[in-house]
Amino acid sequence: MVEPDVVVVPAGDALLGDPPRTEHVNVFAVARHPVSVADYGAFLDETHHAAPRNWEAQRAHGEAPVEDVSWADAVAYCRWLTMGTGRIYRLPDEREWEKAARRDGVLAEVGAVREWTNSWAEGGRVLRRGDDLAARSFAGEDLRGVGFRVVRGLTGR
């Protein structure tokens, strides 16, 4: 199991949302890249978790971001990574995702997929995307183009 390449984002106030507002965000370490097909494949091979739709077509693109992943599947991956590494991995909340996305040089491949967060709003789990850093979206039945990146907890959560 290979741990993700993470970047530490220091605690502090961040300008978030639209209209912009200032919010405090605790220190966290976010994965530079979304979870790849290869990394997700290792999870599937070890756990025998159900593969996402179109898995066989995705498998040929090892370093591309995994797609068609449900929120529950992303959480299961985080649990597996936590158990295998002894470090706490989870999905970022909306504030963490946006703060990292707005910092130059932190997140790679922003916009390659819509990404799960651990935030809940307006009756659904929030997805974030790179083409509009302040915009929320929500997944319905169609998970095409939905992936995720992980956060390594630094504050015990």
Check pLDDT > 60 for residue 157. no
DSSP codes joined into one string, 27-60: -EEEESSPPBHHHHHHHHHHH-PPPPTTHHHHTT
What pLDDT score was predicted for residue 134?
85
**CATH number listed for the domain at residues 6-152:** 3.90.1580.10
Distance from C-alpha of 5 to C-alpha of 145, rounded to nearest angstrom: 22
Helix axes of 37-47 and 71-85: crossing angle, nearest 10 degrees: 80
Q: What is the amino acid identity at position 41?
A: G
Contact 141, 77 (CB under 8 A): no
The pTM is what?
Answer: 0.94
Q: How many CB atoms lie within 10 A of CB 21?
A: 9
* DSSP state letter for 113: S
As a whole number, mean pLDDT of residues 62-91 equals 97
What pLDDT score was predicted for residue 156?
63
Residue with token string 């707005």: 102
DSSP element (H, E) containing 29: strand 28-31
Contact 104, 32 (CB under 8 A): no
Mean pLDDT (the chain, rounded): 93
| 83 pLDDT tier (thresholds 50, 70, 90) | very high
Check pLDDT > 80 for residue 22. yes
